[in-house]
Structure formats: C-alpha cells, structure tokens
C-alpha cells in the first residue's frame, strides 16, 4: 500500500512539474510576442570630449592625449537589457565602456576592446534600474587615428530568456529533490558535508566580477567560440571564427572542449560571460567533490575517511592555484576525472579476476576517466598515462595476467572509439597543418622544463603569494605545492610504514614521494628528454609540476587509508588537526587570491581581447599575428561590396577585368588559411584557395569574373564518419552496461530470495 501511495505521489509531482514547465513556456512566448523593441541612435553632437567633428558628422582624433576623448550623452534609460553597436575606425586598440556617475551599481558592462583589426563592435549591457545619466565613454590610447562613426542602443530579450531558463531550472531542481527526498534524508549528513566542501571551494567566486589570472581570457574566448559556432548552427565546433577579430583559430581541433559546451549554452541563453564561467566553475567544484568522494569511498569503504580525503583533495593548494590563480580551465577540469582513473587502477590490481564479466567493468571505468582527460586536457592524458605505465611495471606480474591485459585493451579501444570525433580532426591537423606548438625544438624545451619544476622548499611553505608563475626567483612563484595538510599526511604515511607492514599504504607513500620528486626541479627531465630514446615528447608537458595533481590523489587516498587504520581515539585527534589545518591553509590561500588578484567585470565577450592567445600554440607556423590589420587585399580585382560575415560565411562581392599575360587575379581575406576552408563564387562554383601573404586565405579569381566570393569552413566526410562512430560507441557501451547492470540486479534478487527460502 505504501508503495502505491508513493507511486501516486511521484506521478502527481512529475505531472505538476510538467504543467509548471508548460506554463513557463507559454508565459515566455507571450512575453516575446508582447516585447516592444526600443532602439535609438546616439547623436554624437550631444556627446562631449576632445574629438573633432568631421563633415560627415563622425568624430575623429589623431595623436591626442590618452584618456576618455568621447563621453555622454547622459541620457535616461530604463531597467532592462540592451545591445550597444559602435562603428569606428582606429589605428591602435582603444576601449569603450558604459557608465553612470550617480547610479554606477545599476550599470553592468565592463570595458569593451575596440580592436584595430575591426570596424564594428556589438556588446550587451544590463541596466538594473532606471538611470538618468547614462554615459558612453570611448578611451583613446594616445597614438594613431581614432574615428567614431555611429553608436546605437537597442533593447533585447536577454532578460526574458534568462528568467525563463532560471524558472525551468528551479522547477526541475525542486522536483528532483522531492523525488529523491528519501535518499537525501538517509544520507543527509554526508550530503551536508559534501555541500559544505563545495560551498567553501567556491568562496573566491562570491565577489563582483571575476579574475582572469594567467589563462582566463584564453578560455573565455574558447567558450565564446563554441557559443558563436552553435549560434551559427555548427556542431561540433572545430574552427572558432571569433578569435583574432575574425582571422579564426582551430582551438577546438587541438583542445578537447566537450564540457565547455555547458557555459557556451548559458551564453546562448543570454547569461553574461562572468555568470556563465562562474556557473561552470561551480559545477566543476561540485563534480570534483562528488567524484572524489564516490571513488575514495569505494576504495576504503569508510564514509568518514572518504569525506576527509575528499576535502583534502578539493582544497589541495595546487588545485586551488589552478582554479583561482592560473585559471587553467582545462587542467582543473581534468583533475575532476583523476579519481575515476585511480579507482579503475585500484580495482584492476586488487579485485578477483576469475569473474571476467564483472572485472571488465573496470575497463569501462578507466575509459570514462581517460575520456574525461581527453576532452579537457591532453597534457593530463600524457602525465596520467606515464603514471599508469609506471604502475604496470611495478605490478608486472599482475599486469601480465590475461584478464588484466584484456581490460587494458578494452579500455584503450573504448577510449579511442568514444573520442574519435575529436581524435580524427586532431590527428589530421597534427599531420597536415604546421603550427607553432609543433615547431618547438626538443632542445629548447629541455632547457626550460626542468628549471620550471617546484622547489622542494615550496612543498613546506605555509603561504605563498597568490600570483606569479614558475620563474627562478621563489619569491615571484605561485603556490606550487600540495599544501601543508597533504605534506603532513605524507610524513604520517612514512611513520606508519616504519611501524607497520601494510603493502597498500607503503605503495601509496612511495608513489607520492616519486611524484613529488617528478614535480620538482631535481628530477632529471632534461637528461631524459635529450638522451633517452623516444622520450623527447615529454618536453610538451612544459612544466614538471603538472604531475602534482596525480601526487595529490595518492596523498588524499593515503589520508583515507590512514584514517581507517589508526585507532579510534587517535583518529579523532587527527581529524580535528586536519580540519583546523585545512581551514587555516585554505583561508590563507583564498585571502591572497581575493585581495591580491584583480577582479574585473566581463559582461560581454567583446570585453575579452580576441588576441588572448597565451603563446599562440595553434597559430600556423611562420605567421606574424602583429601584421594582421583586418583589411582585404586584391590583385587585378575591384571590390564592389565590402567584406562581411554572414553566419558561417565570409562574403564579399568583386569583379575582375579581362587580363593579358601571366598576372593572376585574387582577393586576400582576413582569415588564416587553415585546412578545410572552401571558397565559392556565383551559382556555387568552387574557387581555388592558396596561401596569401602571412598565411591568410587568397582566393584565386577567373578572368572577367563578377559576383560574390564566399568562404566557409567545411567539415570533411572523414570527420562526420568519426562523429557517427563516437555516437555509436557511446550507445553500444551504454546498452552493454545497462544489460550487465540489469543482470546483476536480477542475480541479487535471486540470491536474496534463495537466502529467505533457506532461512525458512
């Protein structure tokens, strides 16, 4: 009877949630239909500043003083979301922002970069409440010519979209909480602890604006590139056209970005750059907490110990450095999947191998973990693969078992099959497109990789500055350490090994020491790269301290195992000491991050410099990006209609004269000529593309041609086949795992029924 009542309640709640979602959808549609667009062009004559008025009504300035040179018109604007368009021309980069003197808290904008390679910028702003002195300000750098031709403001529907999305999310979340209320109540203390860990790991997010750190702008551009691709109907996105003011960057070919579709979708809905990024960071912190706890708990079979291990892992100092100092989105996302790989490895070498069907589940687990690494950070694939190879050698007898080898073969096969949609374009470009990252010599990389390793003294520092990198001077270095908590665990493990014989704790301790050595400047990386055959590729790891996240997993697991082994009285004292240390070290780290780093508002992607390439690893070799000017160049051709971007196409209209001699007719577009670009003319006739000056696209034109020239990035059939194969692989693995799980559940029910019969 109770089950029937529960079923009716669940059905009622689900139906209510569906009705609420339908109501939200209807209200949203009605709001869209009733929306009245407000649009106005700013009268430049009503604006002030040092810019001169030209005959055509535009404002211009040449070689004047730096600062705000155009500002005004101090207009009244109502609460809402708006799109600002500015047409301009400049020789040097300038900036623009939207401001209010009396109501600054009501205007959310941030600085917009007016790049010299463009002539138009469009960006969104939010007005939280009515403002009667709205000011648009253009800031001049002091060099070259700046001209402002036109500024318009248009109200948009971002508010309607974001509010509808938020309402849907709240309904779904509350429904899920109700449906699983029994499980939640049963595990309320554990869930409360995990929620607290996640909450405190997000404390530096709870500020206005965001910190872009070392690589933040690069990853924000990746997110925006995915959003732009989805907006144009492209999936999966390979070539991101938003980079370098339209010159394009195939970052999605070289860098797995499956998880970044989450913030990209939020950007499509209308959430700001900062909101979308912070939502992603929260989800990664939550995922890291849940995955670490789930894996640690399955290994040590002790919830309390797993919670402390999870806290130690989530608050490990180098992980926090990645998250809040380096803003290394790829690496800190990959760290979320490390415990899955470790759980698979632990089971492979500790479980009974007689039942191959059950044992093969470890292959799926390992494939999931490695897929997470492939789709977030390829360098982590390399470091983890080295760790796996080392473990295989240490456990050689168990490695050479037939079933163990089958598990590894199956895991590799599944990982490759699932990731074919990424690996095929990656291999294609790696083989056929010369880029900067593939041009570095091993000798040059070897000169720097070892010296960049962590200093041993850093491992024992209680506090380090929240900025810096990995230079020679330790005072200028970031926190490259697992933290004093995990270092204390290491010495506790060494002490335990001296007193007791425990193979697993001994193994965890030795691996922790090895990985800390590998992360330091004392490990002979330069010698290995230069003198050990087939090891030159290690130079691509760039920094030895990339092995620190692996050491942090071993140390966190070591902590879990020690808490299980020690006596109850000592355990309580150790837990109290751990809690105090975690709070102190994390608070110190967060205080430095919040106070020492610069937080800025990034409301729209136009506020991110599209040339934030870090080291420009994926730029075509021998390309000078400083020479990019955004101009179209021609030879024996005349431009009839200017070059524009229309969705997936870059389009212009031109004509050529009948030519005598060997001189060719062509147009060069401001797009880097990467593989898979295609050009078409009138009626879809194909046009030849070759490398132009500085590796841009040069489209060859026939004699006497008149019409459009359209360039687009085309996905080759081999990529589409890889996409389909990946989907099929995921479907097959899911079906097989579902059948195995179903059979296992049936076996458990049968065993339980047999036990009950035997008891009778």
Q: How many other CB atoms are there within 10 angstroms of residue 391's CB atom? A: 19
DSSP label at residue 455: P
Query: Looking at residue 6, what is its pLDDT?
Result: 66
Query: Looking at residue 1, what is its pLDDT?
Result: 55
Across the range 233-249, mean pLDDT stands at: 92
Give a three-class secondary structure readout of 78-92: CCEEEEEEEEEEECC
Closest CA to 314 of 346, 281, 276, 273: 281
pLDDT digits (tens, 9 = 90+) for 425-434: 999 999 999 9
For residues 308 and 545, what is the distance between their CA atoms, to the nearest angstrom? 24
Query: Looking at residue 641, what is its pLDDT?
Result: 83
What are the extents of the domains in the chain? 2-34+173-179, 39-155, 212-596, 629-713
Query: Looking at residue 446, what is its pLDDT?
Result: 46
pLDDT digits (tens, 9 = 90+) for 482-496: 999 999 999 999 998
> Which residues, in sequence order, are bridge partners of residue 83?
124, 154
pLDDT at 445 over 50: no
Distances from the Cα of 723 to the Cα of 194, 235, 419, 423, 726, angstroms: 36, 10, 9, 10, 5
> Which residues, in sequence order, are bridge partners of residue 660?
none
* Distance, C-alpha 181 to centroid of its chain: 33
User: Can the peptide bond before residue 236 be classed as cis, meaning omega within 30 degrees of 0?
Assistant: yes
Q: Are 210 and 216 in contact (CB under 8 A)?
A: yes
Give a three-class secondary structure readout of 463-518: CCCCCCECCCCHHHECCCCCCHHHHHHHHHHHHHHHHCCCHHHHHHHHHHHHHHHH
Domains 39-155 and 629-713 share a fold: no
- Tokens at 129, concatenated: 């409440």
Q: How many other CB atoms are there within 10 angstroms of residue 17's CB atom? A: 18
| The domain made up of 39-155 is a member of CATH 1.10.3720.10 | no
For 189, the 3-state DSSP assignment is helix
pLDDT digits (tens, 9 = 90+) for 347-372: 999 887 666 677 788 999 999 999 99
pLDDT digits (tens, 9 = 90+) for 265-323: 999 999 999 999 999 999 999 999 999 999 999 999 999 999 999 999 999 999 999 99
Is residue 382 very low, low, confident or very high in pLDDT (cuts 50, 70, 90)?
Answer: very high
Q: Which of 95-104, 122-131, 570-579 is predicted least confidently?
A: 570-579
Across the range 519-534, mean pLDDT stands at: 87
Closest CA to 279 of 440, 393, 165: 165
Query: Looking at residue 747, what is its pLDDT?
Result: 64
Sign of CA dihedral 641, 645, 647, 649: positive
Q: What CATH number does domain 629-713 carry, 3.40.50, 2.60.40, 3.30.200, 1.10.490?
A: 2.60.40
pLDDT at 447 over 60: no
pTM for the whole structure: 0.93
User: Residues 6 or more apart from 124 whose CB is under 8 A from it?
Assistant: 81, 82, 83, 84, 156, 158, 270, 272, 603, 604
Secondary element (H or E) of residue 137: strand 131-140
């Amino acid at each position: 009877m109770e089950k029937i009542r529960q079923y009716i309640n669940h059905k009622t709640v689900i139906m209510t949630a569906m009705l609420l979602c339908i109501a939200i959808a209807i209200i949203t549609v009605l709001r869209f239909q009733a929306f009245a667009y407000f649009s106005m062009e700013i009268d430049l004559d009503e604006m002030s500043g040092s810019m001169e008025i030209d005959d055509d009504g535009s404002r211009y300035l040449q070689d004047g003083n730096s600062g705000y040179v155009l500002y005004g018109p101090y207009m009244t604007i109502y609460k809402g979301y708006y799109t600002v368009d500015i047409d301009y021309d400049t020789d040097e980069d300038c900036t623009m922002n939207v401001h209010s003197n009396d109501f600054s808290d009501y205007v959310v904008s941030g600085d917009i970069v007016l790049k010299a390679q463009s002539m138009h910028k469009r960006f969104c702003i939010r007005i939280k409440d009515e403002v009667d002195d709205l000011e648009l300000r253009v800031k001049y750098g002091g060099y070259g010519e700046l001209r402002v031709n036109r500024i318009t403001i248009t109200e948009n529907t971002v508010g309607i979209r974001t509010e509808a999305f938020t309402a849907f999310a709240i309904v779904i979340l509350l429904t899920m909480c109700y449906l699983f209320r029994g499980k939640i109540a049963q595990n309320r203390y554990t869930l409360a602890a995990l929620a607290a860990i996640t909450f405190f790991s997000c404390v530096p997010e709870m500020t206005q604006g965001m910190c872009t750190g070392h690589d933040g702008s690069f990853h924000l551009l990746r997110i925006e590139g995915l959003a732009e691709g989805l907006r144009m109907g492209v999936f999966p996105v390979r070539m991101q056209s938003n980079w370098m003011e339209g010159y394009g960057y195939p970052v999605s070919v070289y860098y797995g970005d499956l998880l970044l579709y989450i913030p990209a979708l939020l950007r499509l809905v209308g959430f700001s750059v900062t909101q979308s990024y912070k939502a992603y960071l929260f989800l990664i912190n939550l995922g890291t907490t849940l995955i670490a706890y789930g894996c640690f708990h399955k290994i040590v079979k002790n919830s309390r110990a797993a919670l402390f291990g999870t806290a130690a892992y989530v608050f490990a100092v180098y992980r926090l450095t990645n998250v809040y100092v380096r803003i290394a989105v790829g690496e800190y996302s990959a760290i979320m999947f490390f415990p899955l790989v470790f759980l698979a490895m632990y089971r492979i070498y500790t479980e009974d191998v007689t039942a191959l069907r059950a044992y093969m589940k470890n292959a799926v687990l390992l494939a999931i973990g490695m897929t997470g690494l492939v789709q977030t950070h390829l360098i982590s694939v390399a470091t983890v693969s080295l760790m796996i190879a080392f473990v295989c050698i240490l456990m050689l007898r168990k490695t050479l078992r037939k079933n163990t080898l089958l598990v590894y073969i199956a895991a590799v096969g599944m990982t490759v099959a699932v990731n074919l949609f990424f690996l095929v374009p990656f291999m294609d470009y790696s083989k056929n497109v010369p880029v900067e990252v593939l041009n570095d010599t091993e000798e040059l990389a070897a000169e720097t990789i070892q010296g960049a390793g962590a200093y041993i003294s850093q491992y024992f520092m209680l506090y380090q500055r929240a900025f810096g990198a990995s230079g020679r001077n330790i005072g200028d270095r970031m926190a490259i350490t697992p933290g004093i908590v995990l270092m204390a665990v290491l010495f506790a493990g060494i002490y335990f090994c001296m007193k007791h014989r425990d193979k697993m704790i001994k193994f965890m301790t030795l691996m922790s020491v090895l990985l800390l050595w590998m992360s330091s400047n004392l490990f002979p990386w330069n010698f290995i790269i230069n003198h050990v055959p087939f090891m030159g590729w290690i130079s691509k790891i760039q920094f030895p301290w990339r092995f620190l996240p692996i050491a942090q997993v071993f140390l966190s697991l070591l902590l879990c195992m020690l808490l299980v082994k020690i006596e109850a009285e000592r355990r309580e004292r150790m837990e109290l000491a751990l809690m105090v240390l975690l709070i102190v070290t994390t608070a110190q780290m967060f205080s430095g991050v919040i106070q020492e780093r610069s937080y800025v508002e990034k409301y729209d992607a136009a506020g991110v410099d599209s040339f934030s390439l870090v080291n420009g690893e994926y730029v075509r070799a021998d390309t000078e990006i400083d020479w990019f000017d955004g101009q179209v160049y021609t030879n024996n051709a005349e431009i009839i209609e200017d070059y524009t971007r229309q969705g997936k196409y870059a389009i212009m209209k031109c004509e050529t004269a009948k030519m005598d001699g060997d001189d060719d007719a062509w147009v060069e577009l401001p797009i880097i000529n990467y593989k898979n670009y295609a050009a078409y003319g009138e009626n879809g006739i194909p046009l030849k593309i070759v490398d132009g000056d500085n590796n841009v696209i040069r489209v060859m034109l026939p004699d006497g041609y008149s019409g459009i020239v359209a360039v687009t990035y085309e996905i080759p059939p081999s990529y589409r086949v890889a996409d389909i194969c990946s989907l099929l692989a995921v479907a097959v693995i899911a079906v097989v795992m579902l059948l195995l799980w179903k059979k296992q559940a049936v076996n458990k029910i049968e065993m339980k029924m047999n036990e009950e019969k035997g008891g009778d």
